[in-house]
Structure 1
Amino acid sequence: MHEIVFYLAFAWMTVLLVVSVAAVVRPRSTASRILALDMLTLILVALLVLYSAANRSPYYMDAALVLALLAFVSTLVLARYHGERRVF
């Protein structure tokens, strides 16, 4: 039963990944591109967490944590640059 849930979640996250890549490729504005990139990284984090749980390997969980932290910081920096045209 657990394997079916993992496969369904992995398939759903893959579909969401394709949709988010499409959202990054054809944005309407810079702000929507920033949000689409943030969504893409969060879906990648979810895929890494699912893969880590399926393989019982903690290394992918560490990679997911690092990717989530980098995505958070980069979203803050891009939003600030978009709003004020300066990073710091």
Structure 2
Amino acid sequence: MTALVAVPALVWVTVLVVVGGLALLRGQDVLQRLIALDLLAVLVVALLALLSYLRGVPHYLDAAVALALLSLVATVATARYLATGGPLE
């Protein structure tokens, strides 16, 4: 029963990663690319969580949590940099 739901979810998330990559490449300004990159990070976290569930390996879930934290810090730092115009202002 789990494979009946998890495998289509895995395929769907993989398709969304490809679409997110296209959105990243086609972004017209920095903010659109930042949002697309954040979307890709969320999708990769979901992909890692699904793989962790399907294979029963907890290391993938640890990697997903670490990636989520790094993505949050990077998004906040980039947004702050774009808002203030410099790293220390």
Gaps of at least 5 residues in structure 2 are none
Listed one character per residue, the Cα deviations across residues 40-78 of structure 1 (whole Å, up to 9, x for unaligned) are 000000000000000111100000000000000000011
Superposed counterparts of 1:6-85, under 5 Å: 6-85=6-85
Q: TM-score, normalised by structure 1?
A: 0.96
Q: For the residues of structure 2 that align with 1:79 and 1:87, how far apart are their CA atoms?
A: 11
Off by >6 Å, runs of 4+ in structure 1: none
- Partners in 2 of 1:9 and 1:67 — Cα distance? 20
Measured on the aligned residues, the alpha-carbon RMSD in Å equals 0.9
Count residues in correspondence: 88
CA distance in 1 between partners of 2:63 and 2:2 (Å): 23
C-alpha separation in 2, matches of 1:60 and 1:2: 18
* TM-score using structure 2 length: 0.94
Partner SS state of residue 87, structure 1:
coil
Identity %: 41
Q: Deviations over 1:12-64 (max 9, x none)?
A: 10110000000111101110100000000000000000000001111000000
* Long gaps (5+) in structure 1: none
